[in-house]
Amino acid sequence: MKKTILILSLLCATVSITNCSSKQKQITQDPPPYPINVMWQDVSSWDSTTASKVAYYNPDKFIINVDGPGSSGTNPKCGPHIKDIIPFIDTLVNVFGYKGILVMHPDCSKGDYGNDWMGKGNLPNIDSLGSEVYKVYVDYFKEINDSLTKSGLTTFTELLLETENSYMCSSKSQFQKIFFDSVRYYVNDTTIKLSATSDWEGGKYVDWGIDYYYVQMYDMGWEDTKLPTHLGGPNKYSTERIDTLVNDMTEVIVANKFPITSKSCFTFTYAKGKTPHADAPMFGEDSLYWDRLQFNQFIKVFRKKTNCSSVGIWRCSSPFEKIG
């Protein structure tokens, strides 16, 4: 995993980039304000504004949410379909100069499988009760990459599969290794990395046979668990709050024997939530929003305390909205 901040343009650089139509675009960028490795979409967004802001932050990895080919072709929060992905990646990489890794995160939720995925487009008609539902997502991953390759564009090199609330397999840890071994065999490409995500409970992912694991450092405010009680409720910025968060999160990591390695990325949520503080601790709620400098301060303390090498933001559209 690369270092936290890619100081690409030093302080303030003007970059001249040629796109597929041979036009040049002058881009002036300040240093990336967040010391993060991963920016992760919660819903699909594939317009030029999104591309420019991803390139502005220039994270090591950009996780793109992808709905199936049966999803709406007119709703800008659905898709992107292949016809949308090609110009989006072209703009992201060739116009705005994004240099990081592209990760595909297909929406594998049960509620969307029948409408968006099963038998849609060129995908196989695999029943949700079958044991090979994962092939639908892998086939689409391959189809997208084939199209990007034919267009001379950067391809996805990592596939992030979220088994929880999906038809792919039981979310129980003991079934994950068998499942991901099957996925890797079907992908049949040693250059493609496989990753997964789940909560902060222990180092269970170590035995899953995956390359990366995204630890969800939110939804930690449960009253009926042994979690530190300060992780729930409103998350108002202060230096004291930063110390409380970091100390309590470290307690969780240590208690659950969670290994801090180059394979693990600790992700924090900027979601607003329909219910206040529902997925606490939350950094993106309107009245409690942590700005760039505040979140940067939190990450610095978290890194020093835990000695972790990779952090990320889920619902990265929220910080995007704050930079105009």
Query: What pLDDT does residue 71 have?
Result: 97
In this structure, what DSSP letter does residue 31 have?
P
**Is the confidence at residue 121, as pLDDT, over 90?**
yes
State the CATH number of the domain containing residue 99.
Answer: 3.20.20
The pLDDT tens digits for 44-83 are: 999 999 999 999 989 999 999 999 999 998 998 999 999 9
Structural domain contains residue 4: no
Domain extent for 143: 13-321
Backbone angles phi, psi at 314, to 5 degrees: -95, 140
Structural domain count, the chain: 1
Confidence of residue 23 (pLDDT cuts 50, 70, 90): very low
Q: Is the pLDDT of residue 7 over 60?
A: no
Residue 203: band (very low, low, confident or very high) from pLDDT cuts 50, 70, 90: low
- Does residue 137 sit within a domain? yes
Which neighbouring-strand residues pair with 244? none
Question: In sequence order, which residues have a C-beta less than 8 Å from that of residue 324 and are 6 or more positions away?
Answer: none
What is the C-alpha to C-alpha distance for residues 303 and 3, in angstroms, rounded to an integer? 12
Question: Residue 323 corresponds to which amino acid?
Answer: I
Q: Is residue 6 part of a domain?
A: no
Between CA 238 and CA 298 the distance in angstroms is 10
Is 265 within a domain? yes
Asked whether residue 3 is domain-assigned, the answer is no
Residue 2 lies in a domain: no
